Structure 1
C-alpha cells in the first residue's frame, strides 16, 4: 500500500503501473503485486479503503469526543486539515485517485458524515435553516482542495486554512 500511495502521489494515477509500484517497493518483479491483486482496479480499491480507514479513524476519534454539533463540525474541519498536512503524499494520492478512478461512488460516506453533523445541529437548534446536502458538499469540497494547495504551495499552513474554513462554516450554519 505504501509503495502504491507513494507512486501515485509522485507520478500521478495514470503513471502508477505495477512495474513502477514494484520498483518503489523494492521488488524485483510485479508478480508479488499481481498475486495479491487481480488488476490495478482491485489494487486501487484497496488503496482507497486503506486511506479512508486511516483518515476516518483519525477524524472519528476527535469528532466523537465533541458534545455540540458546532464543536463537532469545527473539529471535523480541523482534523481533516491536520491530517492532510501530516500525510501529504497520502492525500495527494487520494486526490489523484478521486479525479481518475470512478468505478463506484467513494465519497458518499464522508459526505453523509458531514450531513449527519449538520442535521444534528439543525435538530438541536444550534444551526439555522439551510440545505444540508449543499452545505455538506461545500465543506467536503473545500477540504478536498487542501492537498492541491499544499502541493502548489508546500509552505501553506494547513492550520491557518482550517481556521479560515472553520470560521467561514461556523458563520454559514449559525442559527
Structure 2
C-alpha cells in the first residue's frame, strides 16, 4: 500500500499505473499487484481504507483520551490538523483519489462528500457537550459540518502553501469553534 500511496501522491491519480506502482515497490512485474487485487478499483479502495484507517486510529487515541466534551472537540480539531500536517503524502494521495477516482459501479467522490454519516462522530461529541451543559444550543449537524469542512480544506491549503503552519490553523480553528459552541 505504501508504494501505491506514494506513487499517487507524487505522480497524481491518473499517472499512477500498475507499472509505476510496481516500479516504486521494487516488484519485477505488475502481475504481483494483479494477483492481490482484482483491478485498480480494488487497489485504490484498499489505499483509501489504509489511509482512513490510520487516520481514525490516530485521532481516536487523542479524542478518546479526553474526559470532557470541549476537550474532545478540541482534540478532534487538533489531531486531524496534526495528521494532515504529518502525513502529507497520504493526504495528497487521498485528495487525488477523491477528485479523480470514478469506480465502476461504486461510490463516487461526490457521494462520499454528501454522506452525512461522515459527521456522526463529531455530532455525537457536540450532542454530548449539549447534554452535559458545556455547550450552548445550536444545530448539531450545522456545527459538525462547519467544523469538518473547515478541516477538510487543510490538504488543499498545503497544496497552495506547503509551508503553512497547520498547528497555527488548528489553534485558530479550535478557538473559533470553541467560542461558537460554548454555553
The two structures have a TM-score, normalised by structure 1, of 0.93
Find the counterpart in structure 2 of residue 154 from structure 1: 162
Structure 1 residue 173: Cα displacement = 1.0
Distance 1:97 1:116 in 2: 28
1:17 alignment counterpart: 17
Residue correspondence of structure 1 range 73-152 to structure 2 within 5 A: 73-101=73-101, 103-104=106-107, 106=112, 110-152=118-160
Deviation at 1:171, TM superposition (A): 1.2
Two-structure CA RMSD over aligned residues (Å): 1.6
Which residue is equivalent to 2:33? 33
Give the Cα–Cα distance (whole angstroms) in 2 for the partners of residues 12 and 141 of structure 1. 23
Residue 54 of structure 1: CA displacement?
Answer: 0.7
Q: Note the C-alpha offset of 1:110.
A: 4.2
Kindly state the Cα deviation for residue 49 of structure 1 after the two structures are TM-superposed. 1.1
Q: Which residue of 2 aligns with 1:50?
A: 50
Which 5+ residue runs of structure 1 have no aligned equivalent? none
Deviation at 1:99? 2.2
CA positional deviation for 1:106: 5.0
TM-superposed deviation, 1:151: 2.2
C-alpha distance after superposition, 1:15-57 (max 9, x if no partner): 2211121122122221111100001110111111111111111
**After superposition, what is the alpha-carbon deviation per residue over 1:49-79, rounded to whole angstroms, capped at 9, x for unaligned?**
1111111111110111111111100001101
Give 1:115 deviation, angstroms: 1.1
Q: How many residues align?
A: 175
Gaps in structure 2 of 5+ consecutive residues: none
- Work out the CA distance in 1 between the residues paired with 2:60 and 2:143: 20
Distance 2:128 2:97 in 1: 31
